[in-house]
Amino acid sequence: MTERLPTALGLAQRIEQHLTFSLGKAPATASTRDWRLALSRAVRDAVVVPWLAAEQRTQETGHKRVYYLSMEFLVGRLLQNAVANLGLEEAARAALAGLGADYETVVLDEPDAALGNGGLGRLAICFLDSLASLAIPAYGYGIRYAHGLFRQRFRGGWQVEEPETWLNEGYAWEFERPDASLPIGFGGRIAGRVGDRAAWAPDETVLAAAFDTPVPGWRGRWANTLRLWSARPLRAFDLAAFNRGDFVGAAAPEVLAETISRVLYPDDSTPQGRELRLKQEYFFTAASIRDILRRHLAEHGDLASLPDKVAIQLNDTHPAIAGPELVRLLVDEHRLAFHEAWQTARGCLSYTNHTLLPEALERWPAELLGRVLPRHLEIVERIDAKHRAALAAAGRRAAEELRIVAPSGDLGGEVRMGDLAFVMARRVNGVSALHTALMRRTVFRELEAAHPGRIVNQTNGVTPRRWLHGCNPPLRRLLTEAIGEAWVDDLERLEELVPLVEDAGFRAAFAAAKQANKERLAGYLSARCGVTVDPGALFDVQIKRIHEYKRQLLNILETAALANALRRDPGADWTPRVKIFGGKAAPGYADAKLIIKLINDVAASINGDPALRGRLQVVFPENYNVSMAEVMIPAADLSEQVSTAGMEASGTGNMKLMLNGALTVGTLDGANVEIGERVGPENIYVFGLDAEGAARHLPFHDGAAAIAATPPLAEVVAQIESGFFSPDDPRRYDRLVEKLRRDDRYLVTADFAAYFETQRRIDRDFRTADAWTRRAALNTAKGGWFSSDRTIRGYAREMWQVEPALQTGS
Ligand SMILES: *Cc1c(COP(=O)(O)O)cnc(C)c1O
């Protein structure tokens, strides 16, 4: 397929054609945006060839298909990624230069598509890249939110949220598929029954409109589809009302329907706006399941083969209604017996658990579920009863923990979506070795005992195409010179660097690549926030959602304590550091927003102190997103992964930073454990309580004693309380301090001393630059296992039973 890709000349012609005929612009008046859209269209043309060929091949061979259902896809920019995956980088650069435009400028003009909150949504996109690169036939299914994740601004150091408008200037990548639209119902009642079958009469129906974005794999050998659903009214508007002059009333159906795909819920841990959120979940899940059945019947003509030909992966519980929906369609519309429908559905479904935090486990009041989805509640209750009866018959006590519909304060109880997803799945996976082990011992202890072997581990990964090849050109060039280009398809080849790490010339080149990236970040920070940073300083990076369990608070308290130490001993030979933060807090998460304000207040106090100039600086650019991560990660010396042990399921930022040659300072949590195993204890900084130690302190930890026993911490806490960082409002942080003292459930005070001590060791180690570079290069060399290609091969083998449709690999 590759030979059909255009040359620079061919690409230039395509770009000009699109500029003229798709955009209606002349080269002389074309803006950067026009060039970007013209290039994007030209590149999309190039993707369509392998895309259609892949679809045709899948149909002809009757190959099994993978369907990845996810409420979130944190896409970022697509242009550069598509250009690189198709091997068109040189052609695109030359073509645009010939037309008088600059490739780098054009690529950076693309707005991020932020249809996700953080790690979970970004994982989904890394998986799509790997599925396509491995030539596994797959669809990603999600929601085409009109407004993705909010844009973050700081006003007086406080986070304020503004709507994101990624669709405003048109999205160059998608194809609307009017022929694939599906009606989706809500509410209503059961209108009749025959045996197992029921006729559901919804009282509200919207149309799910399909938009397809092609996802090309590495070298353009294969391409899959990301199909996003947009909600439309069944009838555009009420003509009778319009003719009566009731223009607002006439548009009511449109407004109601489109509410469903209007916003991404800006919270990845607690469901809000409950009824609308439930409708969103059902909307995209039901449309996807029906689309899957329709395609399967068209290709294979029977339902018995469904589990052999279809693997459906649920990314967290948000699409967990897929189980009851599939059973409903099989029973009510395709006349399967209930038990047969359940077994068929189970043969197709797998579920990924992403969290053990009790407040983040989805539960729906049965009353609400019954109101929005009456037939589904019946099915859930029946599954629950049959499941417990089967366990009782097998001699297992039907433990109270095994109820899917559990009694609760609410009338009628609540539906535990994690348990539902588990019972409906052939396989359930955790996302790191530690997380999976804890899952077996805690949330799913009873279900694991009842269904041994159903839980498997698939440690997360990240795509090396975006997170090394794409974002880090200096290091990419060095790696390719050193070991050839095969590492992009087979990231474990980075192991070949291990002997080179002993070569002084290689280390110098590695250090030069890092330095170039640090200078690029310095330029970015200067342009974006008007701050000047010293690229010779240690770049210490914590970028991720702001959450108490991720402990940005620990980091900023340590930063303030370091500032005190520097002020006290100005003559000492300190290691200059730039502390870099990036991240958004959920708009309703007051304590996380207060931590943002504290970081900004501490930053102002440190950055404004002449005694600290050239030694310590804190920068926190607003609106952290994928494209900001792509600039920060290659420039990091130190990767902050300091979550309370047992609370971070995996993390993927930790993997991106390791691959780009940052050393990790972290707790034994999530995939940090596996990072440490691979890189070796001398090349990672592990500190603090482990998961067992943390569990012994919880659920309740009195921080007052730990504060008193840790003088640098006690000093900072006293400063916060005295209004040192907030002279305009000395009481601002009372709540934060109170929580640290009385109810420090994230164990910030317990881990502070170990963290502070470890950071001082890092200061010393960083000064031996060559030894630091050696360890940084070993992090890159040992990071290959964290490719999402490895993760997807694991899912394919152990969960989906699917093979690639092409022989890949170089
Ligand atoms: C990778 C990534 C994340 C996840 O980061 P963690 O440190 O694993 O929480 C979140 N947001 C963006 C933009 C990312 O690229």
Angle at 342 between CA 341 and CA 345, to 5 degrees: 85
Q: Are 223 and 128 in contact (CB under 8 A)?
A: no
Question: Which is the closest atom of ligand 1 to the Cα of 119?
Answer: 4
* Side-chain-side CA neighbours of residue 683 (13 Å): 22
The predicted model gives 96-125 an average pLDDT of 96
398 C-alpha to center of ligand 1: Å?
40
Q: What is the pLDDT of residue 540?
A: 98
| Structural tokens at position 788 | 């999402």
Catalytic residue selected from 346, 551, 656, 678: 656
Quick check: is 545 catalytic? yes
354 close to ligand 1 (CB < 6 Angstrom): no
Q: What is the pLDDT of residue 6?
A: 80
Q: Any residues with CB less than 8 A from the CB of 141 and at least 6 apart, and which?
A: 67, 68, 69, 70, 227, 228, 229, 284, 287, 288, 291
652 close to ligand 1 (CB < 6 Angstrom): yes
Of 647, 510, 643, 518, nearest in space to 580 by CA: 518
Q: Are 735 and 743 in contact (CB under 8 A)?
A: no
Q: By alpha-carbon position, which residue is closest to atom 1 of ligand 1?
A: 653
Question: Which is the closest atom of ligand 1 to the Cα of 651?
Answer: 8
Quick check: is 550 catalytic? yes
Q: What is the pLDDT of residue 599?
A: 98
Out of 72, 543, 623, mutate this one to test ligand 1's pocket (max ligand atoms within 8 Å of CB): namely 543
The predicted model gives 47-67 an average pLDDT of 96
Q: What is the pLDDT of residue 2?
A: 45
Of 221, 69, 212, 79, nearest in space to 141 by CA: 69
Set out the domains of the chain in order of their start, with CATH numbers: 1-61+81-111 (no CATH), 66-76+113-162+173-362+417-459+793-800 (3.40.50.2000), 524-784 (3.40.50.2000)
810 — pLDDT class (breaks 50, 70, 90): very low
The predicted model gives 664-672 an average pLDDT of 98
Catalytic residue selected from 225, 459, 463, 652: 652
- In which residue are the tokens 């979130």 written? 72
Quick check: is 386 catalytic? no
The predicted model gives 349-355 an average pLDDT of 97
119 close to ligand 1 (CB < 6 Angstrom): yes
Given strand 405-406, what is the order of strands in its sheet?
363-365, 414-416, 405-406
Q: How far is Cα 224 from Cα 641, in angstroms, rounded to an integer?
A: 33
| pTM score of the predicted model | 0.97
Q: By alpha-carbon position, which residue is closest to atom 4 of ligand 1?
A: 119
349: buried, middle or exposed (CB in 10 Å: 19+, 13-18, 0-12)? buried
Percent of the chain with pLDDT over 90: 88
Catalytic residue selected from 147, 318, 354, 387: 354
Residue 3 has pLDDT above 60, yes or no: no
Of 620, 548, 545, nearest in space to 580 by CA: 620
What would the pLDDT profile of 559-615 be if each residue is shown by its tens digit?
Answer: 999 999 999 998 888 999 999 999 999 999 999 999 999 999 999 999 999 999 999
629 close to ligand 1 (CB < 6 Angstrom): yes
Q: How far is Cα 312 from Cα 802, in angstroms, rounded to an integer?
A: 12
The predicted model gives 151-159 an average pLDDT of 98
Q: By alpha-carbon position, which residue is closest to atom 10 of ligand 1?
A: 118
Q: How far is Cα 667 from Cα 685, in angstroms, rounded to an integer?
A: 8
Question: Which is the closest atom of ligand 1 to the Cα of 624?
Answer: 13
398 — pLDDT class (breaks 50, 70, 90): low
H helix runs in 394-498, sequence order: 417-423, 433-441, 445-450, 464, 473-483
The predicted model gives 435-442 an average pLDDT of 97
What would the pLDDT profile of 495-548 be if each residue is shown by its tens digit?
Answer: 999 999 999 999 999 999 999 999 999 999 999 999 999 999 999 999 999 999
Q: By alpha-carbon position, which residue is closest to atom 15 of ligand 1?
A: 626
Quick check: is 354 catalytic? yes
410 — pLDDT class (breaks 50, 70, 90): low
Percent of the chain with pLDDT over 70: 97
- Which long-range CB contacts under 8 A does 689-693 form with residues at least 24 apart? 689/644, 689/645, 689/747, 689/750, 689/751, 690/645, 691/434, 691/438, 691/645, 691/646, 693/645
Q: Any residues with CB less than 8 A from the CB of 419 and at least 6 apart, and which?
A: 402, 403, 404, 447
Q: Any residues with CB less than 8 A from the CB of 628 and at least 6 apart, and which?
A: 543, 582, 621
263 secondary structure, DSSP code: B
What would the pLDDT profile of 264-293 be if each residue is shown by its tens digit?
Answer: 986 655 555 789 999 999 999 999 999 999
Q: By alpha-carbon position, which residue is closest to atom 11 of ligand 1?
A: 118
> Would you call 546 helix, strand, or coil by DSSP?
coil
Q: Any residues with CB less than 8 A from the CB of 67 and at least 6 apart, and which?
A: 138, 139, 141, 288, 292, 310, 311, 312, 313
DSSP 106-155: HHHTSPPEEES-SHHHHHHHHHHHHHHHTT--EEEEEE--SB-SPEEEEE
Q: By alpha-carbon position, which residue is closest to atom 8 of ligand 1?
A: 651
583 C-alpha to center of ligand 1: Å?
9
544 close to ligand 1 (CB < 6 Angstrom): yes
What torsion do the CA atoms of 607, 610, 612, 616 make, to the nearest 10 degrees?
Answer: 30
Out of 626, 659, 669, mutate this one to test ligand 1's pocket (max ligand atoms within 8 Å of CB): namely 626
388 close to ligand 1 (CB < 6 Angstrom): no
The residue ranges of DSSP E strands in 458-532, in sequence order, are none
Quick check: is 244 catalytic? no
Out of 125, 652, 655, mutate this one to test ligand 1's pocket (max ligand atoms within 8 Å of CB): namely 652
| Structural tokens at position 396 | 């297992």
625 close to ligand 1 (CB < 6 Angstrom): yes
Catalytic residue selected from 227, 518, 544, 775: 544
